Amino acid sequence: MELLGWTAVELGARIKAGEIRVTEAAEAVLNRIEEKEALYHCYLTVDRERVMAQAEQLQGRLDKGELTGSLAGVPIAVKDNICTEGIRTTCGSRMLENFVPMYSAGAVSCLEKAGMLLIGKTNLDEFAMGSTTETSAYGVTRNPWDISRVPGGSSGGSAAAVAAQECFAALGSDTGGSVRQPASFCGVVGMKPTYGRVSRYGLVAYGSSLDQIGPITRDVTDCAALLETIAVHDSKDSTSVKREDGSFLSALKEGVEGIRIGIPGDYLAEGLDAEVKAAILKAAQVFKEQGAFLEEFDLGLTEYAIPAYYTIASAEASSNLERFDGIKYGYRTKEYKGLHQMYKKSRSEGFGTEVKQRIMLGSFVLSAGYYDAYYLKALKVKALIKKTFHQAFQKYDVILGPTAPSTAPLLGESLSNPMKMYLGDIYTVAANLAGLPAISLPCGLDTKGLPIGLQLTGDSFQEKKLLQTAYIYEKARGVFPLPKERK
């Protein structure tokens, strides 16, 4: 159906103009989901009746002129670690199989306020821990470009749903690359905003000092529109920042002239797939042709980002996931002797392998005698990494590089070699450690026909400049193809 090919902003404009009813758009997406889910499994929860009732209601509000935003009525998917009032939120874990939040996350309230239509909850690595969506307790999601491959992760369901036209846009969460890397593998746009830009209230915490909710969309315009919708200060998240520069759509018009782009030489070194490298350099050339200043530089500390990241993320995860004790919500084991055994058995049966491993590592690095050597050391390295980026942004507006060292791996390939999977986050984790905004957008296909992601990183709260730069590239690149239809 033609409608499904439109971007979120295009659909929003037609709904506003009265050319398309919200119920028609909802129906089209729900039918598409019904047709494709057996193949891709992007969603964990889709409630057709609820969606249609909601669509009816939104159309009513549109008719009365109550909804005027650019995305009113547009169907959107939300990663299943973001709380939705009255809709099951599992985090891809057995632990929360029957958990129904009694409130919506701050970002979800923003979507509701803008009149967007929540179509369903998407699959993810359990508690967002993973880079392939394979650690979900509810089965793997397949990459719409090649169903023998992973969609990336942890927001794999969201990225695959956007690529497969099973929604017009989606929310993901990014702790070490979990929005950008799946966007890269699925040939769509994914952005991690500056830490503090989007409320984390109601986002089930993994690494609280690194987590940030971000948009996954078909193009940069949709990304700007969705970011504009969710970048709202929230008094319920004390790390949410009050700012006045949230009109991102209007930033997309200016030219690239005078923009200074730096390419870290360390991002093009060993470990980067040759085809990915060629595509990134070709994209850089596009900027040069558009009049941008471009040079290679030495960012430094790149090889220390992952060890620092895993130390901090695991430590925070071990602390954050302590709340799952089988008392107030979540899984409780059937047979136990006393309170402590109930805690231990509930947690051991409710969590999957990867989550338990990270909790173990996190508990270790936080334990007496090891705290200084590991956790504190990692926080110091985090400070150094932030400083290197700060220095780089004295010279450049945007840092350009690959999102991931390779295109999407085969299903099963990554979990058999976890260290390699962790190394796959090498270009993305630094933005989380330094709290910076970064965007991934498709910049080509490799010889296997798989999408390659270009990552642009900006200085703190410079999302406008970042989106503008991405927009210029996208315009010069032209429309990126969708994956081939398959039966």
Q: Is 79 a catalytic residue?
A: yes
Closer to other proteins by CB, 225 or 431: give it.
431
Pairing, β 260-264 against β 293-297: parallel
Closer to other proteins by CB, 21 or 197: give it.
197
**Measured between alpha carbons, how far is 175 from 395 in angstroms, rounded to an integer?**
27
Q: Is 414 a catalytic residue?
A: no
Smallest separation, CB 433 to other proteins (Å): 8
Closer to other proteins by CB, 143 or 346: give it.
346
With 0-12 CB in 10 A as exposed, 13-18 as middle and 19+ as buried, what is 325?
middle
Which candidate in 131, 178, 346, 414 is catalytic?
Answer: 178
What the block records as the tokens of 425 is 């986050």
Alpha helical stretches, state H, 79-170: 106-113, 156-163
Closer to other proteins by CB, 95 or 292: give it.
95
Q: Does 303 bind other proteins (CB under 8 A)?
A: yes
Closer to other proteins by CB, 267 or 331: give it.
331
Do residues 330 and 350 touch, judged by C-beta distance below 8 A? yes
Q: Does 43 bind other proteins (CB under 8 A)?
A: no
Q: Is 420 a catalytic residue?
A: no
Smallest separation, CB 396 to other proteins (Å): 19
Give the number of other CB atoms < 10 A from CB of residue 125: 31
Smallest separation, CB 436 to other proteins (Å): 8
- Ramachandran class of 298: left when φ > 0, alpha when ψ lies in -120 to 50, beta otherwise: beta
**Measured between alpha carbons, how far is 104 from 86 in angstroms, rounded to an integer?**
8
Closer to other proteins by CB, 43 or 374: give it.
374
Q: Does 99 bind other proteins (CB under 8 A)?
A: yes
Give Cα separations from 88 to 7, 78, 126, 277, 327 (angstroms): 28, 12, 15, 41, 18
Give Cα separations from 131 to 46, 252, 307, 426 (angstroms): 24, 31, 16, 12
Task: Give the list of residues 6+ apart from residue 338 with CB closer than 8 angstroms, or none.
Answer: none
| Mask for 356-385, x = binds other proteins (CB under 8 A) | xx-xxxxxxxxx------x-xxxxxxxxx-
Q: Which of 318, 406, 414, 469 binds other proteins (CB under 8 A)?
A: 318
Residue tagged 């701050």 (tokens) = 106
Interface positions, 230-249, toward other proteins (CB under 8 A): 235, 238-239, 241
Q: Does 68 bind other proteins (CB under 8 A)?
A: no
Give the number of other CB atoms < 10 A from CB of residue 131: 29
**Measured between alpha carbons, how far is 346 from 135 in angstroms, rounded to an integer?**
19
Q: Does 435 bind other proteins (CB under 8 A)?
A: yes
Q: Does 311 bind other proteins (CB under 8 A)?
A: yes
Q: Which stretch binds other proteins (CB under 8 A): 3-11, 351-359, 401-409, 449-457?
A: 351-359
Which candidate in 36, 79, 345, 464 is catalytic?
Answer: 79
Question: What 3-state DSSP class applies to 376?
Answer: helix
**Measured between alpha carbons, how far is 6 from 29 in angstroms, rounded to an integer?**
12
Q: Which of 336, 415, 475, 480 binds other proteins (CB under 8 A)?
A: 336
Pairing, β 451-458 against β 398-402: antiparallel
Q: Which residue type sits at 263? A: I
Residue tagged 């969705």 (tokens) = 226
Closer to other proteins by CB, 269 or 383: give it.
383
Q: Does 39 bind other proteins (CB under 8 A)?
A: no
Please tell me the count of residues contacting other proteins according to CB under 8 A: 70
User: Which positions are catalytic?
Assistant: 79, 154, 178
For other proteins, the binding residues (CB under 8 A) are: 98-100, 102-103, 195-196, 209, 235, 238-239, 241, 301, 303-304, 306-308, 310-311, 318, 322, 325-332, 336, 338-339, 341-345, 347-348, 351, 353, 356-357, 359-367, 374, 376-384, 386, 418-419, 433-435, 460
